[in-house]
Amino acid sequence: MLNNELKYYEQNVLWSNNYLNLPGERIRIKNAIDLIPHDVKSILDVGCGNGVLINNIPDHIYKVGVDFSKSALRHVVTDKIQGGAENIPVKSDSFDLVTCMEVLEHLSFEGYKKAINEIQRISKKYILITVPNNENLKKSLVVCRNCFCHFNPNRHTRNFNEISLNSLFIAYSMISCNEIGPIVEYRNYPDRILSIYSGWKKPVPPNTALCPQCGYQLNENNSIRNVNPYHTKQKYTFKKYFVNLLFPVRFKSRWLIALYERKSNETKI
């Protein structure tokens, strides 16, 4: 793992908040817990972060959290293991359910393939994941003020929809997939327009963002603002009308949650 990536995920500010104070996060965690099958007696939470899920799973279930960030694991109150999703120090077929919440979209190309295999290897029966719902990665790009690299401030590297999730795990069948969380607005801008807009506006990264290329990070001394870099007021009525006509506002829930069950007589990888 690159030093800049380690530095980013060791920021305590990412993990010190109680995310259950956020209505959207409460919905996501409640939906995940409600989907846990009744015959599950053990859960491994891969990429558990500060334990927002694993800390709140009922105590009658044996639960373990895994994350490579020491800063994140300080907030986990269950059994925990330091390790990455690509190489989990756990025996095969050792947990009834493996959960992976808001993790897969962050992984590198090689890390992603390894994590998918590791999750299948460890699970005996079920897999439960949440991912951003059909996220437009080009829309969220920001620009480093030092090297002018364009990057996703949350380190998202891929997007997901119901079709891609359906074939995610070879040894498992998807038994449910639902949109959850708050309703968000979006527009289907063409990629070319987004590229031009990003180059023109040069949206400023939030203070927690760390450039993956040079490691530059805004702080209180050099930060211009700490707002959504794409938030702009529509100054002219005709401009707003023109944009709405070409790219009408649509709505979706923020996340997808999918539950998988191991195929009968399926040989584990």
Is 158 part of a structural domain of the chain? Answer: yes
**pLDDT value, residue 101:** 97
The domain total for the chain is 1
Question: pLDDT at residue 269 above 80?
Answer: no
Is 268 part of a structural domain of the chain? Answer: no
Q: What is the mean pLDDT of the chain?
A: 88
The encoded tokens of residue 179 equal 């949109």
Is 267 part of a structural domain of the chain? Answer: no
**Which pTM does this prediction carry?**
0.86
What element of type H or E holds 180?
strand 172-186
Which tops the pLDDT comparison, 208 or 193? 208
pLDDT of 39-89, one tens digit each? 999 999 999 999 999 999 999 999 999 999 999 999 999 999 999 999 999
Nearest residue to 157 (alpha-carbon basis) of 112, 224, 92: 112
Is 195 part of a structural domain of the chain? Answer: yes
Is 36 part of a structural domain of the chain? Answer: yes
Which tops the pLDDT comparison, 136 or 32? 32
What band does 267 get if pLDDT is binned at 50, 70 and 90?
low
Is 244 part of a structural domain of the chain? Answer: yes
Q: Which amino acid is at 198?
A: S
CATH number at residue 236: 3.40.50.150
Average the pLDDT over 210-219 and give the result: 89
pLDDT of 226-265, one tens digit each? 434 444 444 546 666 666 777 788 899 999 999 999 998 6
pLDDT of 112-122, one tens digit each? 999 999 999 99
Specify the DSSP class assigned to residue 80. Answer: E
Strands (E), the chain: 42-46, 62-67, 79-82, 95-101, 123-132, 142-143, 150-151, 172-186, 250-262
Is 231 part of a structural domain of the chain? Answer: yes
**pLDDT value, residue 117:** 97
Distance of CA 8 to the CA centre of its chain: 15
Is 269 part of a structural domain of the chain? Answer: no
**pLDDT value, residue 249:** 83
pLDDT of 139-181, one tens digit each? 888 999 899 998 999 999 999 999 999 999 999 999 999 999 9
- Domain containing 55 equals 3-262
